[in-house]
Structure 1
C-alpha cells in the first residue's frame, strides 16, 4: 500500500460504495452475531467474501449483545470464562459473567434514569480509571439511551470545563481524584445538573454511585434506540487544534466493531483479550468493550495507573490471556526487558495500533516470544480502516489491507484514485451509501452572517478572520466559529426569532 499523509472523506459522487446495507429486525442481528463468532476464514479474500453485515432499524448493544450473551450463558451455549475479569496489584479480582454484567448494568441504569433523572439523548461525561465501574457505566448508558462521553483521568479542570460546556452534559461521573476539579468549574456549566462520585467515601454535593447501586432494583426496560441514534461522543486528542466532538451511533460501534473483533483481533467466546488503552480514548471502546463482547470474548483489565513492563509481563505469564493489544511504544518497552524470564502459556495473538510499528520491534518480539504483531490503522472517526488481519502475511512497514467495512483508496488532491506505488491520501467512499461504522458527525460551531451594506464589498476571507478573532476575545477561545457563511437573510418566525433548526437542516443537506 502506498504511503499516506492523512485521511480524507471523499465527497465526489463518482466515488461509489461497494455494498448497500440491508435493513432487518434487531433480532436477526443476534443470529448474525453468534454466527460471526463461529466463522472460520483463511486469508483476506475469504474475509471480504464472508463480510455481509445487516443493519437493523433498531439496535442497542446492551440488549442485543450483552443480554443475548447472558441468555446464551444460561442455556450453556457459551464457555464459562467471564465477560469481564479485573485485577489489581494488591491481588484483588472482580469477575463478571455476561449474566452478572446484564444484571448489575440494569441496576446502574436505574441509578442513571431514576436517581439522576437522565433521559434518552442526555449527555453523560464519565472520567474514571481502569475500574469495573467504567465498563458497567458504558453498558448502563446504552440501556438508558444516554450519550456517553469518556474522558482520560489526565484531564485538567480546564479540559473538563471545555468538555462540559461544549457537550452541554447534564451529568458528570468521576472519582475522588477528579471531583475537586469538576467542582471548581461546575458554576460555569449551567447544563450540569448531576454529579455522581464512584468512591467509598462521600463528598458534599455529589451522589454516591456505590450506595445508590446497592439499593437500585435490577429490573430495567432498555431504551428503544435506532441504529443511527447517537450512542457516544469521543473528543479527539486535539493534535491539530481544539479537541473536536466525534459522535458515533449505536450501529457504528455496536455493530461495526464486529470487524475488529473477528478479523483483526481474531476473537472467539473462548478467548481472553487484554487491551492496555486508557479508558479516555476511543481505542478502549474498540478493543475493551465492543469488539470483544460482540464476539462473546472475555475482557481482561489490569488497574495499573501507567504502563510498566514488569507487571504487564507478569500478568501475561500468570493469567490465561490469549490476545494482547497495545501501542508500539509499549512493545518497545517490553522487548528491552528480560523476556526470557517469562513464559506466555496462553498468548497466541498480538496486535498493535496508534502509531507505525518499527520492523525491528516486530522481529525482536517474534524472536523472543515466537509471536507476530499484527498492525492496524484507524481514527476516532472510523475505527479500523486498514489492518494486517489474522491469516495474512505480515509485511514490515505496511499497515495491512483495507477493512472489509470500507471501500478504501489512495487518492490525489483532486480525489482521483492513484495507482500502486504513488503517495497520496487515504479516502473512504461515502456515496451513495455512507458506511454504517463511520462516525456520525462533528456537534461544530458555524456562524451565518448577514452583512451590513458597508461590509458587502470587503474581502470575505479577511472578514471571516476578523469575526473569528472577535469571538475569541469576547468568549472562551474554543467557542469561535470554525465555519462562517455569509447569507442575504436569516429564516425567522413570525415573532422574529431565528429558525436555527432550518439553518442546521440546510447545512447538513450540503454535507
Structure 2
C-alpha cells in the first residue's frame, strides 16, 4: 500500500471523487512503478549513483552544472526550503521565473523536499497569480528577482502565501545555499503523492488546476522519449516552451535528465537567438512550436545548424508546409505530437519514420484512443468526432466541477475534433470549445473579454480566434464602444496596450473590429459562433 509522505493533505483531499477519475492503464513493463517513488530521485540522484556525476546536466547563462553539481544545488535548496522556509510535505510552492538552471533546480528541490510545485508562466500578471495562489492555497514561492513586481502585488491579497524566496541577480541566495549541506535525504513520497499542479485556462476564464503525481512525471518520461524521440546520453536539448508548461517541463528538464543527457535553459529565445544557442552549445535536439520553426526556416541559411539532429513540435497543430519547409532547409523531419496539461504530456505522435502527410501521428505505446460522438459511441474511420484518450496519465482537477466534463466513462476528452484513418493515424481538425490556441498558448475568450470590458471606452465585446498562417490563430475582438468614443487606429492601440497591462501580454487581441451590436441569445448569452460567421 502506498504510504503518503504528505502531512499537508490539501491537494490529496481535493482530488476528484474516485468515480470521476479516468481509467488508468499500466500494461507495459516500463510503466510498472514502485509504490514509493520520488521524481528527483529517479531523474537526478540515480543518475549520479549510476556514474553520470561528472557529465554535463544543465547549462545556461554563466552556468554549466554537472549532474553532481546540480544534485548539490538541489539538496542545498531543499534544506533551505525545509529549514528556513518551514516547508512541510504537501505544501504548494509557486515557481515563477524564466527558463534558467536555477528554475530547474527549484523544480527538483521542491519534489525532493516533498512539496507540490505550481509552475506559473513568466508573463502572468498579479491578478492571475493571485487566482492561482488562492485556488491552490499556495504557501511558498520561489521567484526570480527580475519577475518580483507582479508577485509582490499579488501577495498583498494572498495572506496564505507566507514564505517567498527571491533568486537570481542581486539576491543573497548563493551565500545562503553555501551554508547548507550538499546532501539532503529525499522525502519518501508515494508514487501517488501529488508532485505538481499545472494550471490551465478554462472557457470561463477561471483557471483549472491539474494534479499530477510523481508517478505521472515518470510515466511521461517512459512514453514519448522512450518510444518516439529516443534521446541518448550525448544529446543536448534546447527550446522555447516555459518549464511552467508541462510540454516544456518534460522536453527541457525531465526528458534530458531521464536520458542522462544535458539541457540548455535560456530566457527569451527569439528565433535568431534560438539558432545562435543551437550553434553555441552544440544542440542536437530542438523543441519549439510550429510558429518557431516557421520563423527560423528563413534564418537557418545565415546561422547553420550542423549539430542539430532532431526537432520536436507541439502546442499547436503543425502545418504540412511548415514541416516540409523545415525539412528543405535543414534536412530534418520534425517529431510532431499532441498532448495537454490534463494528460501531462504527448500521447499521439509521429517520428520521421512513421509520418503520414496531414496526420499528427499514432497513439504512443501505453495509450488507447478512439473517436466518439456526443454519446461516447465509437465512430468509424474517416468520421470526424471527439478524441477520447486513456493511458498511464489522466485528468484530475483540483476541486473543480469541470472534472465531469473532461472525463466520461473513464475516458479523457481533451476537447479536440479529430478523425482516424484505417491504419490508426489521427488527423486534427479543431478545438471544440472556446479556447484560442495562438503560437502554442491557450487563451480563454472570456478572459480577454473581461480585460477589454474593464476599459472605460468599451461597452460590449466578444473575442474569437481566427486562422493565421504564422501563429495558427490570432485573437480577434469585436468591440462596441460607448458613446463619444470612436474606432480609430489610436483607439485600437489603446485597447491593445490596456489588455497587455491587465493580463499576460500574449493574450491581447491582434485584430479589433468595431461593431454596433453583438449577436446574443434571448437570454443575453453571447453567440461567438456567429462572430466567426461575420468575421
Taking structure 2 as the reference length, what is the TM-score of the superposition? 0.68
Verify: 1:428 aligned to 2:389, yes or no.
yes
Judged with a 3 Å threshold, the aligned counterparts in structure 2 of structure 1 residues 445 and 426 are, in CA distance, closer, same or farther, namely closer
* Higher Rg: 1
Which residue, 300, 322, 335 being the options, matches 1:361? 322
Which residue, 244, 247, 253 being the options, matches 2:217? 253
Q: Which runs of 4+ in 1 moved over 4 A?
A: 78-81
Aligned to 2:362: 401
Structure 1 position 440, deviation (Å): 3.6
Judged with a 3 Å threshold, the aligned counterparts in structure 2 of structure 1 residues 241 and 181 are, in CA distance, closer, same or farther, namely closer
Equivalences for residues 64-83 of structure 1 within 5 A: 64-73=42-51, 78=52, 81-83=55-57
Verify: 1:350 aligned to 2:311, yes or no.
yes
SS of 1:105's equivalent in the other structure is: helix
Mean Cα displacement is larger for which, 231-240 or 114-123?
Answer: 231-240
Verify: 1:149 aligned to 2:124, yes or no.
no
Structure 1 position 257, deviation (Å): 2.4
Verify: 1:97 aligned to 2:59, yes or no.
no
SS of 2:42's equivalent in the other structure is: helix
- Can you list the C-alpha shifts for 1:381-430, whole angstroms capped at 9, x where unaligned? 111120003532x222211001212111111111111111011111124x
Equivalences for residues 305-454 of structure 1 within 5 A: 305=268, 307-337=269-299, 339-382=300-343, 383-389=345-351, 391-392=353-354, 394-429=355-390, 435-444=391-400
Distance 2:221 2:106 in 1: 19
Aligned to 2:146: 177
Distance 1:317 1:266 in 2: 22
Structure 1 position 315, deviation (Å): 2.1
Residue segments in structure 1 that go unaligned for 5+ positions in a row: 1-10, 22-49, 88-92, 203-207, 430-434, 447-511
Structure 1 position 344, deviation (Å): 1.8
Mean Cα displacement is larger for which, 109-118 or 308-317?
Answer: 308-317
Judged with a 3 Å threshold, the aligned counterparts in structure 2 of structure 1 residues 427 and 197 are, in CA distance, closer, same or farther, namely same
- Can you list the C-alpha shifts for 1:414-461, whole angstroms capped at 9, x where unaligned? 1111111011111124xxxxx432244333269xxxxxxxxxxxxxxx
Structure 1 position 277, deviation (Å): 0.6
Residue segments in structure 2 that go unaligned for 5+ positions in a row: 1-17, 403-535
Aligned residues of 2:55 and 2:67 also touching (Cα < 8 A): no
Distance 1:315 1:280 in 2: 21
Which residue, 160, 166, 191 being the options, matches 2:160? 191
Higher RCO structure (Cα 8 Å, ≥6 apart): 1
Judged with a 3 Å threshold, the aligned counterparts in structure 2 of structure 1 residues 20 and 177 are, in CA distance, closer, same or farther, namely closer
Aligned residues of 2:220 and 2:250 also touching (Cα < 8 A): no
Aligned to 1:280: 244
Distance 1:234 1:119 in 2: 20
Distance 1:346 1:152 in 2: 30
Aligned to 2:198: 234
Judged with a 3 Å threshold, the aligned counterparts in structure 2 of structure 1 residues 403 and 210 are, in CA distance, closer, same or farther, namely same
Aligned residues of 1:71 and 1:99 also touching (Cα < 8 A): no
Structure 1 position 256, deviation (Å): 2.8
Aligned to 1:205: none
C-alpha RMSD of the superposition? 2.5
Judged with a 3 Å threshold, the aligned counterparts in structure 2 of structure 1 residues 99 and 80 are, in CA distance, closer, same or farther, namely closer
- Can you list the C-alpha shifts for 1:248-305, whole angstroms capped at 9, x where unaligned? 10010123322122223221112111121123312111111212211212112223x2
Structure 1 position 194, deviation (Å): 0.5
Verify: 1:301 aligned to 2:265, yes or no.
yes
Judged with a 3 Å threshold, the aligned counterparts in structure 2 of structure 1 residues 318 and 297 are, in CA distance, closer, same or farther, namely same
Distance 1:82 1:290 in 2: 15
Structure 1 position 52, deviation (Å): 4.1
Verify: 1:117 aligned to 2:91, yes or no.
no
Aligned residues of 2:284 and 2:310 also touching (Cα < 8 A): yes
SS of 2:196's equivalent in the other structure is: strand
Which has the larger strand fraction? 2
Aligned to 2:234: 270
Structure 1 position 84, deviation (Å): 0.9
Judged with a 3 Å threshold, the aligned counterparts in structure 2 of structure 1 residues 262 and 216 are, in CA distance, closer, same or farther, namely same
SS of 1:421's equivalent in the other structure is: coil
Distance 2:213 2:19 in 1: 24
Structure 1 position 109, deviation (Å): 0.2
Structure 1 position 356, deviation (Å): 0.9
Structure 1 position 327, deviation (Å): 0.2
Judged with a 3 Å threshold, the aligned counterparts in structure 2 of structure 1 residues 256 and 374 are, in CA distance, closer, same or farther, namely closer
Verify: 1:57 aligned to 2:35, yes or no.
yes
Aligned to 2:438: none
Number of matched pairs? 384
Distance 1:140 1:359 in 2: 40
